[in-house]
């Protein structure tokens, strides 16, 4: 079997150390150690007068890492850990790279040799530390995404068709924007996605990657709010490499104004057509002309509908029924009472108090985590210098590690809850006032608009034997439920 091929790492921080400590002396010690193990020294990596603050980008470092990855060397000998790197993060990076490439790290001063059982124990420790570091970085990156979104910075990926990123700002692409506008104009005229795509293709227009326009592409472009001057960010997240993207809860979305290529009126008109066609596809038979159709259910779970030439919602299963005019009036009065009875200032005060409590808990958890990491580093140092034995190390190390894992789980959860409640706080007035204004305009609204409002704010309507339960969607903190006896109706 061929002897193990290793490299020797020599780094000294200053010109004085180059002369005083003699890199040649360090090299000679390393060669003696290699000879005692019957290893072949095939490379020497010298970093003279280079600070240990950061060495990862140094040409000699890159040469060494390339040799490790190519199998030219399978181990690296150095005088002590501080000579490999003083930067803890880079030391952990080195450890992770060597672990992946099944290569050994050998420190002469600390007597660490990962080709031996004792050395592998050290390797296990620093590999665990590397895992913590990776998780911390991942957590910081995830936390930075909403912040970057709030600041209007790009989060990766291409700009919407008709736009481009320029100096980290979304601006109109003068070449694509006219085509994007044409999409809406053609669709407004023909009201067909496939016809719109065919016309664009016949006119010689293509998508950004040179493909023909399709009805799917037309639907996506019409739906995209960027065209009317409202960019939505932080609304999807990756499920992992090679996996699909998942839409985030709407309260996590971040919106920013941007240059518009079409008027809001044109955007709404085109989207209204798409919405109507979607309802048409989802409904069986003709579109209902009854306000609460499909939302009312009998207590047995069967949907109730108004049949032709009838004035009642009827359950086909148990023949339960209720007058349409009566339940419509009751529903509208319930909606009005609910909206007028909500006190957003009470909700906001309670929410602000909850946010303050959770921010205090988060601050405490972060301080505890910092202290735990410092203690763990101190224990690892004691083990490296052999001031404590293996058994004593485990007694000290394992409980702290378990507590750190618990903190690492609770901190992101607290951060998420705080962000969610702050978003609730910001949107409370907007949601409430929007719902109120819609109700005030109820008489002026067309049937389709009323129907849309009802679908959006109604959670359920249940007709019991002698009562009706109505629940509205959670506009603030709690669901409003109303019960009304209608024995005499």
pLDDT score of 411: 82
Output the six-digit token pair for 106.
């050998």
How high does pLDDT run on average in the chain?
76
Neighbour tally for 462: CB within 10 Å:
17
> Would you say residue 81 has pLDDT above 70?
yes
- Domain locations in the chain? 5-147, 152-282, 296-342+442-485, 344-439
Q: What is the pLDDT of residues 216-225, one digit of tens each?
A: 899 989 988 8
**Alpha-carbon span 135 to 145, nearest angstrom:** 16
Which one of 35-39, 136-140, 166-170, 357-361 scores highest in mean pLDDT?
Answer: 357-361
Question: Phi/psi of residue 298, each to 5°?
Answer: -75, 160
Q: What is the mean pLDDT of residues 171-182?
A: 91
Architecture of the domain delimited by 152-282: Alpha-Beta Complex (3.90)
Output the six-digit token pair for 122.
């050290």
Q: What is the pLDDT of residues 294-303, one digit of tens each?
A: 888 898 988 8
pTM: 0.32
pLDDT score of 160: 82
CATH placement of domain 5-147? 3.40.50.1390
Q: For 66-70, 126-130, 158-162, 194-198, which range has the lowest pLDDT when averaged over its residues?
A: 126-130
Instruction: Name which residue leads in pLDDT, 41 or 80.
Output: 41
Q: What is the mean pLDDT of residues 231-256?
A: 58
What DSSP string runs through 416-463? Answer: HHHHHHHHHHHHHHHHHHHHHHHHHTGGGS-HHHHHHHHHHHEEEEEE
Instruction: Name which residue leads in pLDDT, 227 or 151.
Output: 227
Q: pLDDT-derived band of residue 40, with 50, 70 and 90 as boundaries? A: very high
Query: Which residue pairs, CB below 8 angstroms and at least 24 apart, start in 246-253?
Result: 251/420, 251/423, 251/424, 251/427, 252/146, 252/419, 252/420, 252/423
pLDDT score of 430: 47
Share of the chain above pLDDT 90, in %: 13
Q: What is the pLDDT of residues 266-278, one digit of tens each?
A: 999 999 888 887 7
For residue 218, the SS3 value is helix
């Amino acid at each position: 079997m061929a002897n193990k091929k290793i490299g020797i790492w020599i780094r000294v921080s200053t010109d004085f150390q180059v002369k005083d400590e003699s890199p040649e002396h360090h090299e000679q010690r390393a060669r003696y150690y290699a000879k005692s193990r019957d290893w072949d020294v095939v490379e020497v990596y010298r970093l003279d007068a280079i600070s240990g603050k950061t060495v990862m980008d140094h040409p000699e470092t890159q040469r060494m890492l390339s040799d490790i990855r190519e199998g030219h060397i399978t181990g690296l000998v150095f005088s002590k850990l501080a000579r490999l790197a003083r930067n803890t993060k880079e030391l952990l990076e080195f450890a992770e790279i060597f672990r992946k490439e099944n290569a050994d790290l050998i420190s002469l001063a600390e007597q660490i040799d990962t080709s031996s059982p004792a050395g592998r124990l050290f390797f296990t420790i620093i590999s665990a530390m590397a895992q913590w570091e990776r998780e911390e970085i991942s957590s910081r990156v995830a936390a930075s995404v909403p912040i970057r979104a709030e600041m209007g910075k790009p989060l990766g990926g291409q700009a919407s068709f008709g736009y481009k990123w320029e100096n980290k700002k979304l601006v109109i692409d003068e070449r694509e924007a006219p085509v994007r506008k044409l999409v809406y104009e053609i669709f407004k005229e023909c009201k067909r996605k496939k016809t719109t795509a065919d016309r664009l293709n016949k006119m010689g227009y293509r998508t950004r990657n040179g493909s023909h326009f399709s009805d799917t592409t037309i639907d996506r472009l019409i739906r995209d709010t960027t065209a009317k001057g409202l960019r939505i960010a932080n609304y999807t997240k990756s499920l992992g490499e090679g996996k699909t993207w998942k839409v985030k809860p709407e309260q996590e979305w971040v919106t920013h104004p941007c240059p518009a290529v079409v008027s809001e009126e044109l955007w709404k008109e085109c989207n209204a057509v798409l919405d109507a066609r979607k309802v048409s596809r989802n409904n069986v038979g003709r579109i209902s002309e009854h306000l609460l159709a499909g939302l009312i259910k009998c207590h047995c779970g069967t949907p109730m509908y108004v049949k032709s030439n009838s004035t009642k919602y009827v359950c086909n299963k148990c023949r339960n029924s209720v007058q349409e005019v009566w339940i419509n009036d009751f529903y509208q009065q319930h909606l009005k009472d609910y909206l007028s009875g909500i006190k957003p200032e009470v909700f906001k005060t309670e929410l602000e108090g909850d946010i303050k409590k959770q921010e205090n808990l988060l601050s405490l958890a972060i301080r505890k985590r910092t202290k735990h990491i410092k203690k763990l580093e101190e224990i690892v140092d004691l083990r490296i210098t052999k001031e404590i034995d293996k058994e004593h190390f485990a007694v000290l190390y394992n409980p702290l590690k378990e507590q750190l894992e618990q903190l690492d789980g609770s901190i992101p959860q607290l951060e998420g809850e705080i962000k969610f409640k702050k978003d609730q706080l910001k949107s409370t007035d907007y949601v409430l006032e929007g719902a109120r204004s819609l109700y005030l305009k109820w008489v002026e609204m067309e049937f389709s608009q009323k129907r849309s409002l009802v679908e959006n704010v109604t959670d359920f309507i249940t007709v019991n034997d002698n009562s009706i339960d109505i629940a509205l969607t959670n506009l603030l903190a709690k669901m409003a439920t109303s019960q009304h006896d209608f024995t005499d109706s």
